[in-house]
A = this chain, B = another copy of it.
Amino acid sequence: MKRTDLAELGEFGLIERIKSKVTTSQPSTVYGIGDDAAVIDSGSHYTLISTDMLLEGIHFDLSYTPLRHLGYKSIAVNVSDIAAMNGIPKQVTVSIGLSNRFSVEAIDELYEGILSACKNYNIDLVGGDTTSSQSGLVISVTAIGEVAKEAVAYRKGAKANDVLCVTGDLGAAYFGLQILEREKQVFLENPNMKPDLIEHEYLVGRQLKPEGRTDVIHELKEKNVVPTSMIDVSDGLASEILHLSQHSGCGFSVFVDNLPIENKTLLMANEFKMSPITAVVNGGEDYELLMTISQQDYELVKSIPEITPIGFVTNEKNNILVTNSGEHVPITAQGWNHLTTQK
């Protein structure tokens, strides 16, 4: 019997392989595998379902991740997926696999974070599963959201001349992770050294405690604007642009000069002797929203301070970064691939 390594396929290849075998037949299934959330017709509105699994050693390192923040993040990343469909999360289920090394107090801390996120995003925790785990901590969250039928935003739908916009700033979470990894090494080499994290609160906070941008979803609704396409930035800008390009059948031109990057991110890039653009394009976990807005709607959106225009949609097949000097650099797939290169 043939044996093909998973690494040959990669995560996106595996998803495509599964997707190719799936057909849907329920009349209520509006959209299945392949976007940030599934879309189910609930009569008066669409119900959105998104799910994310976080595994110890892959998605988080408990040596520098406070359980409270981990709990918060496990909710926020699902909120981000619902927001990426232009929806508002309403309920979550949280399943956890635990080994006996966790105390009741540690689990309390994890749930403090989970419930703090639920309160912040006005979400109800309605269920889950608890089980023991022979190895590390496992967290699986499913978020249930709602969106008006006429307001759902898919990855498909971008059209030539639409304005490509992104919320917040990019690249900070990547450097937050680099700082945490560096301080961990310092600590392992000399346990008397105290980690120097407060100075880097912003960058570290972006990694440990990201936020889903439901605030922007509310603002778009107030302006009565529906993005023509949308995705959240979890795997780096390049990966997300390629998803929008593939689903919408169009190209993107992105201006490097326009990319929103915090000063702290630029300074840290300099300290790490790395290009901040590389962090923005191939880093990840910013959990901002990347969307396309029609020219007409852009007039309404440009007053929202959280939204920055970074490029536009083209009829070309290729996706390019336009540098300060006018150079055209192709955008290629270099998203984080958990199945081949682990974080």
Contacts and interface: CB of A to CB of B under 8 A. Distances in A.
Contacts of A32: 124-127
B125 A58 contact: no
A8 interface: yes
Contact of A1 (B6, B11, B53, B105): B105
Given A91-B26, A124-B26, A138 B342 contact: no
| Copies of this subunit | 2
Contacts of A7: 100
Interface stretch (A15-23, A210-218, A242-250, A327-335): A15-23
Nearest to A9: B104
Interface string A61-97: 0000000000000000000000000000011010111
A190 B108 CA distance: 47
A5 B100 CA distance: 7
Contact of A127 (B1, B25, B38, B126): B38
Contacts of A50: 127
A53 B128 CA distance: 9
A302 interface: no
Contact of A57 (B9, B57, B134): B134
Contact of A3 (B22, B28, B105, B115): B105
Given A3-B105, A91-B40, A53 B125 contact: no
Contact of A134 (B18, B49, B55): B55
Interface string A323-343: 000000000000000110010
A4 interface: yes
A104 B44 CA distance: 41
A210 B338 CA distance: 32
Contacts of A29: 90-91, 124, 126
B126 A38 contact: yes
Nearest to A100: B6
B21 A124 contact: no
A127 B33 CA distance: 5
Given A40-B91, A124-B29, A142-B93, A5 B104 contact: yes
B95 A25 contact: no
A58 B126 contact: no
Given A43-B42, A49-B144, A123-B26, A134 B131 contact: no
A51 B141 CA distance: 9
A97 B129 contact: no
Contacts of A161: none
Contact of A55 (B31, B52, B131): B131
- Report, nearest first, the 3 A-B pairs whose CB atoms are least far apart: A135-B135, A38-B126, A140-B140
